[in-house]
Amino acid sequence: MSTESLAEPVNRVRPRRLGSLRLRLTLAVPLLAATVVGLFEWSLGGFEPLADGLARIAWLVLLLSAAQLLLIDALLLRPLRRLAAGCEAMESAPVPLSPEAAVPAPGRIAELDRIGHAMLRARGSLWQQDQHARELRRELAQQRDQLQEAHSAIEAHQRELAGLVRTDALTGIANQRAFDEALRREFKRAQRQRGLLAVAVLDLDQFKQFNLAHGTAVGDTALRRVAALLKERFKRDTDVVARLGGEEFVTLLPGFGMAEAQSVLESLRDDLRALRLPDGQGSLTLSIGLAAASPAHPYLSAQALLQAADEALYMAKHAGRDRLSLAA
């Protein structure tokens, strides 16, 4: 059966349905209008006025029905007719059913082939670009890791350099720079809190002759052992032991007055005499100059306190060495 033969019954059915709908509306609308007008007139005066004004009611029903039918035709029936006409036009359009009708022309085939090849090339190019982007991301990740490692190494070197700047390379204790900072800090604290602060400058007696007799290697070992002895003797958190240079050391003792510091330092001199030097090479003695700041004996500055201890050391040296001298 052909498409035209199937479409014919459908095309006949649609006008019939529209005509039936128009007929039903033509019958229903006057009845509805008469009912509405009759109810309205009855509500105004009852049945007797309704019978007297029958002609007028008939004219009202006729006019109201005509107006409603015109509105229904304009708003409903005409759009339905246009819709039906469009459907009939779509159904009456020829539809190719044979396979030959669906086969494109040879020129179209060649054009479609070119488009397909172009799409394949574009897909391959996109795949290569994606691979290249992945390689770049991997390289960037590796470089970022390397930069982080380099940054960590630089920070470690900076910490090491900062430690070297504040540490004596030979003995491992604080150097003069670190001691000067601690002295200024503790001096200000002692002034603020009206506390005690003792400073002792220590010098190994005849150390140049010791180096000449035993060699600088033995002398360096002796300096390291003296530094270890000082760290062991002065091990409070607030104590500071430093090497000023050569064979000269210094101790900072917060909270110690002259008497307390003197007692500890005399004991240190005894410990140094008993110190075992490398291979039993000779013995060492200490000359010490001690100064202490207190509310009863204040100093104008931290440098003045250190200078007083240094002058006391000078007096100990000239008094015969191997002794402790107190600042005036």
Catalytic positions are: 247
Q: Are 257 and 292 in contact (CB under 8 A)?
A: yes
- Are 313 and 287 contacting, i.e. CB atoms less than 8 angstroms apart? yes
Give the whole-angstrom CA distance, residue 197 versus residue 316.
Answer: 21
Structural Rg of the chain based on CA atoms: 58
- Alpha-carbon separation of residue 3 from 7, 94, 96 (angstroms): 6, 9, 11
Of the CA atoms within 13 Å of residue 58, those in its CB half-sphere come to: 5
DSSP assignment string, 259-313: HHHHHHHHHHHHHHHTPPPGGG-----EEEEEEEEBTTB--S-HHHHHHHHHHHH
- CA 289, 293, 298, 299 dihedral sign is positive
Q: Tell how strand 248-254 and strand 197-204 pair up.
A: antiparallel
Q: Name 157's Cβ contacts closer than 8 Å, sequence gap at least 6.
A: none
165 vs 186: CA distance, rounded Å: 20
Hey, is 248 helix, strand or coil?
strand
Six token digits for residue 77: 């029936």
SS3 (DSSP) at 93: coil
Region of 245 please: left (phi>0), alpha (psi -120 to 50) or beta: left
Q: Tokens 């002759």 correspond to what residue? A: 209
Residues in the chain: 328
C-alpha span between 169 and 150 (Å, rounded):
26
Give the Cα-Cα-Cα angle 129, 134, 136 (nearest 5 degrees): 95
